[in-house]
């Protein structure tokens, strides 16, 4: 099969031939239908020496073969994969919190991912896709689950106004869910004009350009108050401080942006406001079910998040170009 692999940090992905993977007894062999490029893929490719690794953890595929104990699926079934493999038997797995499984293995980091024609996954770590969902929907289930878990962590009050900091794929999906789950005004802050217009397409009631306007003042002008919920979806140093600065007294601040650099925070700001600052990471298994069923019932339309599709051949150059600021939101690989 053909795959795209990491070379040394910072170098473009390389195309390579690998033997088709063989499913273990409890695994399915999937033909990858679509795999999203995630910001963390870009980060890993620059930061870690993992030559030969096949990235890609946001994928859906069609079952081509099944190991003898990989029950419940037939050849031709279409599934969306968790971005982890898990043991399936520990307390975390049984309560639907796969990230907290002590045996969790990150797909596309610790085992080969979806930038390939084929990939294997344990049958317990995939979710069947109804025919109403196409491959674009299937590849969006993982980021939609991440965003749904983030909004879940915010414990929104019905009608409460929400500020989403960052209009990348996660921020936009957070805006989509917040609107769907009963928020009042949902304001997205992002410096990129195209992301602000995408935000309005997925349900944001207003947007703000943080390079041109004061975010807190603009939010107050739009909604009549400072944000009672702030959801940070960028992950660069300074933004936790920003989120606490703009938040209302007694607000909830959820940090979903993945920041791998040291950051500073002036604690007196969240202290005097008595902010409830929470972090969000990954998802619960039920978030996959919810995302699939909400698309199936036409309650949400996440397709505006997909701004382009590339073949495996086109992936290395596109992947490189996504490391610079662009108008793209979610780019899918169609191997």
Interatomic CA distance for residues 57 and 243, integer angstroms: 28
Supply the minimum distance, in Å, between the C-beta of residue 170 and Zn ion: 8
Give which of 60, 100, 107 is closest to 80, Cα–Cα.
60
Supply the minimum distance, in Å, between the C-beta of residue 201 and Zn ion: 21
Q: Is the CB of 86 or the CB of 205 nearer to Zn ion?
A: 86
Supply the minimum distance, in Å, between the C-beta of residue 294 and Zn ion: 20
Task: List beta partners, residue 78.
Answer: 62
Q: Is the CB of 38 or the CB of 256 nearer to Zn ion?
A: 38
Interatomic CA distance for residues 152 and 283, integer angstroms: 9
Supply the minimum distance, in Å, between the C-beta of residue 247 and Zn ion: 26
- The count of residues interacting with Zn ion (CB under 5 A) is 7
Binding string, residues 19-38; x marks residues near Zn ion by CB under 5 A = -------------------x
Q: Residues 135, 334: contact at Cβ < 8 Å?
A: yes
Q: Is the CB of 228 or the CB of 235 nearer to Zn ion?
A: 235
Supply the minimum distance, in Å, between the C-beta of residue 228 and Zn ion: 28
Q: Is the CB of 3 or the CB of 107 nearer to Zn ion?
A: 107
Interatomic CA distance for residues 180 and 114, integer angstroms: 30
Task: List beta partners, residue 232.
Answer: 165, 255
Q: Is the CB of 1 or the CB of 106 nearer to Zn ion?
A: 106
Supply the minimum distance, in Å, between the C-beta of residue 130 and Zn ion: 23
Binding string, residues 44-83; x marks residues near Zn ion by CB under 5 A = ----------------------------------------
Supply the minimum distance, in Å, between the C-beta of residue 72 and Zn ion: 18
Binding string, residues 276-295; x marks residues near Zn ion by CB under 5 A = --------------------
Binding string, residues 101-140; x marks residues near Zn ion by CB under 5 A = x---------------------------------------
Task: List beta partners, residue 186.
Answer: 162
Binders of Zn ion in range 76-105 (CB under 5 A): 86-87, 90, 93, 101
Q: Is the CB of 39 or the CB of 210 nearer to Zn ion?
A: 39
Supply the minimum distance, in Å, between the C-beta of residue 166 and Zn ion: 14
Q: Is the CB of 198 or the CB of 251 nearer to Zn ion?
A: 198
- Name the segment binding Zn ion (CB under 5 A); options: 40-48, 171-179, 220-228, 290-298: 40-48
Is there binding between residue 223 and Zn ion (CB under 5 A)?
no
Q: Is the CB of 86 or the CB of 189 nearer to Zn ion?
A: 86
Contacts of 168 (CB under 8 A, 6+ apart): 39, 190, 195, 233, 234, 329
Q: Is the CB of 90 or the CB of 265 nearer to Zn ion?
A: 90
Supply the minimum distance, in Å, between the C-beta of residue 88 and Zn ion: 6
**Sites of contact with Zn ion (CB under 5 A):** 38, 40, 86-87, 90, 93, 101
């Amino acid at each position: 099969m053909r795959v795209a692999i990491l070379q040394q940090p910072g170098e473009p992905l390389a195309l390579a031939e690998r033997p088709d993977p063989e499913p273990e007894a409890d695994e399915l062999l999937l033909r990858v239908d679509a795999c999203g490029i995630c910001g963390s893929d870009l980060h890993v490719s620059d930061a870690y020496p993992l030559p030969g690794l096949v990235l890609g953890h946001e994928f859906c595929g069609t079952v081509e073969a099944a190991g003898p104990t990989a029950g419940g699926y037939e050849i031709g079934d279409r599934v969306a994969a968790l971005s982890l493999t898990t043991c399936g038997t520990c307390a975390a797995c049984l309560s639907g919190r796969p990230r907290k499984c002590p045996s969790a293995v990150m797909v596309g980091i610790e085992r080969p991912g979806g930038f390939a024609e084929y990939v294997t996954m344990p049958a317990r770590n995939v979710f069947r896709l109804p025919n109403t969902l196409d491959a674009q929907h299937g590849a969006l289930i993982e980021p939609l689950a991440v965003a749904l878990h983030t909004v879940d962590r915010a414990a929104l009050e019905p009608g409460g106004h929400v500020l989403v900091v960052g209009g990348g794929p996660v921020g936009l999906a957070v805006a989509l869910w917040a609107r769907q789950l009963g928020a009042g005004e949902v304001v997205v802050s992002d410096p990129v004009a195209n992301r602000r217009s995408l935000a309005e397409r997925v349900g944001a009631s207003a947007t703000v350009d943080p390079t041109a306007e004061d975010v807190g003042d603009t939010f107050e002008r739009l909604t009549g108050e400072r944000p009672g919920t702030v959801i940070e979806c960028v992950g660069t140093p300074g933004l936790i401080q920003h989120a606490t600065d703009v938040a209302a007294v007694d607000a909830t601040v959820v940090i979903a942006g993945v920041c791998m650099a040291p950051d500073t925070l002036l604690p007196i700001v969240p202290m005097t406001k008595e902010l409830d600052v929470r972090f969000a990471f990954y998802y619960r298994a039920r978030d996959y079910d919810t995302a699939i069923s909400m698309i199936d019932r036409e309650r949400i339309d996440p397709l505006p998040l997909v701004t382009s599709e590339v073949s495996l051949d086109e992936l290395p150059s596109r992947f490189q170009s996504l490391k610079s600021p662009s108008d793209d939101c979610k780019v899918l690989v169609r191997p």
